[in-house]
Amino acid sequence: MTEQRKDILDLLVAGKITAEEAEQLIAALERDQAPTTASHDARPKGKVKYLRVLVDATDLGERSRVNVRVPLQLLRAGVRLAALIPPQALVKANASLSDSGVPIDLTQLKPEQLEALVEHLDEVTVEVDSPDATVRVFCE
Amino acid sequence: MPQLVTVKVNRPDRRPVRVWVPVLPVALVLLPVVVLVVLAAIVACVVFRIGVARALGAAWRVISALPGARFDIEHCRTAVLVAIR
């Protein structure tokens, strides 16, 4: 029995709510829990290993398709390699990004943050559907 | 470490090209070049004050993580596939 269900029954026993109200509350609780369980079951079990990028586009009647599979381990290794970039190079990169209209301060981007980002990529699914193109980014 | 790199190229009106590259034998053949590249990387690390061991370790991690990567790109009737195993 869940804690919330027990609380509802305690309220019923204490006479603070009627049996009908208790039934409504339990029904509402079950409705809330059902989608959560379903979404957990929908995810593949076990640790994900690859980042997949699928693009299917049609440009002027010509079909283009991209199917890329990148091991997450490669992303982690890339993050470690990027952590070796000397600060003076980051300053120059910041200036170039700023000139291009992308004001991102790369010196504030810590390797730990990037590693955490890669670690949680398995929870990310991006799907873009437009008349001309379909893009899917997910982990498997 | 990668064992085999597969490259397939399909172009319209041309014979499809399929190349299987065994990484280790090719790396052994290219060993003198590999040694020169590593030396150049070490010099670059010293010049830019980057830890040589850390840099070589990170580069090795990248190479070790390559197996499983696959890039399949198709446009019109031209298709390129690069798969690393």
The residue among B8, B46, B70 with the most chain A CBs within 10 A of its CB, best to mutate, is: B70
Check residue A31 and give its pLDDT.
63
Check residue A123 and give its pLDDT.
79
pLDDT at B68 over 60: yes
Sequence ranges of the domains in chain A: 3-42, 50-139
Three-class secondary structure of residue B80 per DSSP: strand
Instruction: Please tell me the number of Cα atoms within 13 Å of A46 on its side-chain side.
Output: 4
Higher pLDDT, A8 or B56: B56
Check residue B63 and give its pLDDT.
92
Percent of chain A whose predicted confidence (pLDDT) is above 70: 86
Angle, CA B71 vertex, CA A123 and CA A133 arms, to 5°: 70
Interface predicted TM-score of the whole assembly (ipTM), two decimals: 0.82
For range B13-31, the mean pLDDT: 92
A112 burial via Cβ count (<10 Å: 0-12, 13-18, 19+): exposed
Sequence ranges of the domains in chain B: 4-84
Handedness of CA B58, B62, B63, B67 (dihedral sign): positive
pLDDT digits (tens, 9 = 90+) for A14-37: 787 777 777 777 777 776 655 444
Three-class secondary structure of residue A51 per DSSP: strand
Query: Residue length, chain B?
Result: 85
Higher pLDDT, A65 or A15: A65
Check residue A37 and give its pLDDT.
45
Asked if B65's CB is within 8 angstroms of A65's CB, the reply is no
Asked if A78's CB is within 8 angstroms of B62's CB, the reply is yes
Q: Say which range, A73-82, A103-112, A126-135, has the weakest mean pLDDT.
A: A103-112
Q: Say which range, A3-17, A49-63, A118-132, B25-39, has the weakest mean pLDDT.
A: A3-17
pLDDT band at A41 (very low <50, low <70, confident <90, very high): very low
Tell me the chain B residues in contact with residue A80 when contact means C-beta distances shorter than 8 Å.
Answer: 58, 61
Which of A68, A77, A80 lies nearest to residue B71, judging by beta carbons? A68
Check residue B19 and give its pLDDT.
94
Read off φ and ψ for residue A102, nearest 5 degrees. -120, 85
Which of A66, A80, A89 lies nearest to residue B58, judging by beta carbons? A80
